[in-house]
Amino acid sequence: MHEIGLCQSVLAAVEGKAGGRRVTGVRLRVGALHRVGPEAFDQTFSLVASGSVADGADVDVVVVPVEGHCRGCGQDWEAEDQLPLCPECGSTDVALTGGDDLVLESLEIENQNIES
């Protein structure tokens, strides 16, 4: 369950930005290559954040797609899963970019918002 490590890293960043203030919401961009489901991340973050400034915070996870380019037919595509095949011609000669993001986009702190 790699979500625990990701959630611990996110919580450390949240606590650093919050400066001891209570966090009620977290917005996070996670690349598809991390293979994180928003629901699983939300549940794991709730466990990891228990007793912290982010205890009970709502978590909004935005999955950032992988961009693919086929070297065979030139087709470009986006996917929310790591797909090693070109959807146009089925070639495995593809280049994948992006999808490895992990960005704390914003925090909602009691009665205020902070953009990261």
Q: Which two tokens stand for residue 33?
A: 């290559």
pLDDT class for 113, splitting at 50, 70, 90?
A: low
At 74-110, the pLDDT tens digits run 999 998 776 778 999 999 999 989 888 899 999 999 8
- Residue found by looking up tokens 């999955």 in the block: 63
Q: What is the mean pLDDT of the segment spanning 65-75? A: 94
Task: Give the number of domains in the chain.
Answer: 1
What's the rounded mean pLDDT across residues 13-42?
92
Residue 112 has pLDDT above 70, yes or no: no
Q: Is residue 98 classed as helix, strand or coil in its secondary structure?
A: coil
pLDDT digits (tens, 9 = 90+) for 38-64: 888 999 999 999 999 999 999 999 999
Nearest to 25 by CA among 3, 1, 9, 49: 49
Q: Does residue 116 belong to any structural domain of this protein?
A: no
Domain assignment of residue 93, yes or no: yes
Residue 84 belongs to domain with CATH number: 3.30.2320.80
SS3 content of the chain, % helix, strand, coil (to 5): 25, 35, 40
- Is 35 contained in some domain? yes
Q: What is the pTM of this model?
A: 0.79
Q: Which residue range is the domain that position 12 belongs to?
A: 3-111
Q: Is residue 49 part of a domain?
A: yes
